[in-house]
Amino acid sequence: MTSCVNMMTDFENASMNKISISGIRVTKNEPMSKHTSWRTGGVAKQYIRAESLEALASYIAAIPDDEELLWMGLGSNTLVRDGGFNGTVIATQGVMSQIELLDETTVYVGAGVADAKLARFCSRNNLSGAGFFAGIPGLIGGALAMNAGAFGGEIWPLVVEVETINRKGEINKRKASEFEYSYRHVKGPKDEWFVSATLRLDKQRESNNAIDIKQLLAKRAASQPTGVASCGSVFRNPDGFYAAQLIEECGLKGKRIGGAIVSEKHANFIINDDKASAADIESLIKLIQKTVEDERGILLQQEVRIVGDSK
């Protein structure tokens, strides 16, 4: 493996827009509109894809400590402001993609595996309790970071242990008990990112999981806008309430700012309807929060993360 020092020397001397260093593809000034499901946002100073976890670990270890890092899966829960991200974006799609059955009820899954792929894998192996993953439009790493869920299920109650990587490129194994989790919130060691998870599920001898998944997806398609540029749910559900219902009761369905519009189908979705800027979307988020707080006395908390600089 090329040393971290040599990797950084190669990187610093590189003048091409795209360069390949020891299993790492680096793109400078990468438009994040290409990598987020809202299809908008500024450029990242550099965007990297790794061919292996080993290459990624070496590269991360060589990045200066003051460089801001942004881990990006399918970009289904992220808004990058129009001024861009002045740091390094690390793509997890295409790496950390291993998924295997360790025993009759235990699954090892990499952070770069799509949630829907895990649902299908568990269905094929007659494991119940993972069908809800079919309704989450992201990767396992993101699901672990925010305790993602759908249709009444969440990932962290299934977790036995995880592997994480820190800024030194070190891989650590951690028990689920080392993390605190709640609805759409996870707290664990600082500056560590998820590499994989070991999940324990239930064995279902006579499986109808495939039928269940189809039913869940049909339910999702019937109640949520699909096939459009959105990030999924924008706000967390407050205790005792549904965010979508609060937004709808405030008359905000169809509300538009620039190219961003509150979905007529599901009020907790904001759609990039016509070349929306990130500023359009963020302004609509703030308008929704202010309106609901003014009219209902409830401040909606964002489920989506907003990063980068304004123009």
* 206 close to 51: Cβ distance less than 8 angstroms: no
Active site residue 200: no
Locate 308 and state its tokens: 């980068």
- Per annotation, catalytic residue among 25, 39, 174, 184: 184
Beta-carbon-side half-sphere exposure of residue 118 (alpha carbons within 13 Å) = 35
* Alpha helices (runs of H) in the chain, residue ranges in sequence order: 4-13, 53-62, 115-124, 140-146, 209-223, 243-249, 278-296
CA atoms of 191 and 177, how far apart (whole Å)? 18
* Phi and psi, residue 253, nearest 5°: -60, 130
Q: What span, in angstroms and rounded, lies between the C-alpha atoms of 174 and 180?
A: 12
Strand partners, 182: 185
Amino acid at 135: G
Of 30, 154, 282, 303, the active-site residue reads 303
Q: Which of 33, 58, 123, 233 is catalytic?
A: 233
Task: Tell me the residue type at 28.
Answer: K
Active site residue 233: yes
Q: Which two tokens stand for residue 6?
A: 């040599």
The bridge status of strand 106-110 relative to strand 99-101 is antiparallel
Assess contact for 181 and 87: CB atoms under 8 A.
no
Task: Point out the residues that are catalytic.
Answer: 184, 233, 303
